[in-house]
Amino acid sequence: MPGDPEVGLLRETGLFPACKSRPAAKEFLPKELVSSGVVRRLGGFFLFNPFTLLRELFGFPELSVSLVMKPSLFDSHMHTPLCGHAQGELSDYADEACRKGLDGIIFTCHTPLPDGMSAEVRMKAEELPEYVDRVAQCRAEFKGRCDVRLGLEVDFVPGYESALEKIIESQPFDYIIGSVHPHLPEIRDAFWKEDPIAYGKTYFDLQARAAETGLFDTIAHPDVLKIVRWADYDKALMKEEFARFLDRVAETGVCLECNTSGLIRKVQEIHPAPDLLPMIAERGIPVVIGSDAHDPLRVGDGFREGVEALAEAGFKELLVFTERQSQSVPLDSWKALVADWSYCLQNEAPASLHGG
User: How far apart are the C-alpha atoms of 118 and 115, rounded to whole Å?
Assistant: 9
Q: Are 328 and 247 within one domain?
A: yes
pLDDT at 50: 55
Contact assessment for residue 312 and residue 320, using Cβ atoms and an 8 Å cutoff: no
Q: Are 318 and 193 within one domain?
A: yes
Number of domains within the chain: 2
Q: Are 131 and 24 within one domain?
A: no
* Residue 348 pLDDT level (bands cut at 50, 70, 90): very low
69 located within any domain: no
pLDDT digits (tens, 9 = 90+) for 167-188: 999 999 999 999 998 877 777 7
**b/e per residue 51-68 (b: at least 16 CB within 10 A):** bbbebeeeeeeeeeeeee
66 located within any domain: no
63 located within any domain: no
Q: When comparing pLDDT for 71 and 292, which is higher?
A: 292
Range of the domain at 265: 74-353
In terms of DSSP H, where are the helices of 213-276?
225-228, 235-250
Q: Are 250 and 184 within one domain?
A: yes
Q: Are 53 and 198 within one domain?
A: no
Q: Are 48 and 81 within one domain?
A: no
Q: Are 12 and 101 within one domain?
A: no
139 located within any domain: yes
Closest CA to 287 of 335, 241, 222, 235: 222
68 located within any domain: no
**In one letter, which amino acid is 112?**
P
Q: pTM score, two decimals? A: 0.78
Q: When comparing pLDDT for 107 and 55, which is higher?
A: 107
Q: Are 54 and 203 within one domain?
A: no
pLDDT digits (tens, 9 = 90+) for 61-83: 444 333 334 668 999 999 999 99
**In one letter, which amino acid is 241?**
E
Q: Are 202 and 53 within one domain?
A: no
pLDDT digits (tens, 9 = 90+) for 198-220: 888 999 999 999 999 999 999 99
Q: Are 171 and 222 within one domain?
A: yes
Q: Are 19 and 121 within one domain?
A: no
Q: Are 91 and 50 within one domain?
A: no
158 located within any domain: yes
1 located within any domain: no
